Amino acid sequence: MERILFIILGTITLGAALAVVTQRTLSCAAWLLALSCLGIAGLLFLLEAPAVAALQLLVGAGGVALLARKNEARLRQTAPPGSAGVTPRWWAGALVAAALAEVLLWTAFHYDPGMVPVPTAQVSLAGYALPMATAVVLLATALVGALEVARKR
Amino acid sequence: MTTVHPSWFLALAATLFCIGLYGALARRSAVAVLMGIFLMLDAVILNLVAFGRALEAAGMGGQVLAVLLILVAAAETALGLALVATLWQRYSTTSLDDLNSLKE
């Protein structure tokens, strides 16, 4: 059952991601990105990480879908259909991505958990309170900065 | 405990990362490049959680790092979109091929 779910969610995620990078209309690409994030949230649930999956749903799928819905007209305005294409040297990007994919896939299928040393100390959630607080402050600062940068003069 | 081998999650994350990399390298629009970068970050999040699950003794480390990465991705996307909005206001274009004044 879990394998079937993995295949379905993986197909949705990869299919939507491929559509995002090949789609010529930005508003459609944004909706497909939200679908891809939905697939990733499903995979995170499969990995028994409900907190991360919920955050991915909120920020990834929810946030992107909201941005796509609110800015659909503006996305069409900034990039008319057909103009959000590829650069003349798109083949170089495809070559780099394919080479990296080969290396990473080989590593993934030759990965052996037994080869990695087991840490002696148990990691506890309490030790991450300060990094979490720092990350929240970073996010708040980034949002304020974004508002200031985008403000019409 | 999931019956799917961790290697399959790693392979999926690797494929997703490379798709995002192609999008970031080959697309003309700044918004499309940002979407490619977002896909790469999502792949890394999946990777972190998969490794954290595979290495049981690591506890919550993988998930906590994934949460931190989601926050960083949100901050980066917000700033990136603000920059794109400013570019559009000033130059009426978001095509990276047209934004080449630093070349001169």
Pairwise CA distance, residues A78 & B96, whole Å: 12
Rounded to the nearest 10 degrees, the angle between the axes of helix B30-54 and helix B61-91 is: 180
- CA-to-CA dists, residue B61 to A75, B13, B56, B90, angstroms: 38, 18, 10, 43
Give the per-residue pLDDT at B7: 85
Q: What is the pLDDT of residues A109-127, one digit of tens each?
A: 876 655 555 454 445 555 6
Check pLDDT > 90 for residue A148: no
Hey, what are A65's tokens?
């879908």
Check pLDDT > 50 for residue A59: yes
Cβ-contact A127, B29 below 8 angstroms: no
Give the per-residue pLDDT at B6: 81
| pTM for the predicted model, two decimal places | 0.82
Interfacial A residues in 102-131 facing B (CB < 8 Å): 104-105, 107-109, 111, 113, 116, 118-119, 122-125, 128, 131
Residue in A78, A111, A150 nearest the CB of B94: A78
Rounded to the nearest angstrom, the gap between the alpha carbon of residue A21 and the centroid of all alpha carbons in its chain is 13
ipTM of the complex: 0.86
Residue in B15, B54, B70 nearest the CB of A14: B15
Å between A47 CA and nearest CA of chain B? 7
Contact B75 A142 (CB under 8 A): yes
Interfacial A residues in 54-83 facing B (CB < 8 Å): 55-56, 59-60, 63-64, 67, 75, 78-79, 83
**Averaged pLDDT, groups of 10, chain B, 104 residues long:** 77 93 88 90 92 72 86 84 80 74 64
Check pLDDT > 70 for residue A80: no
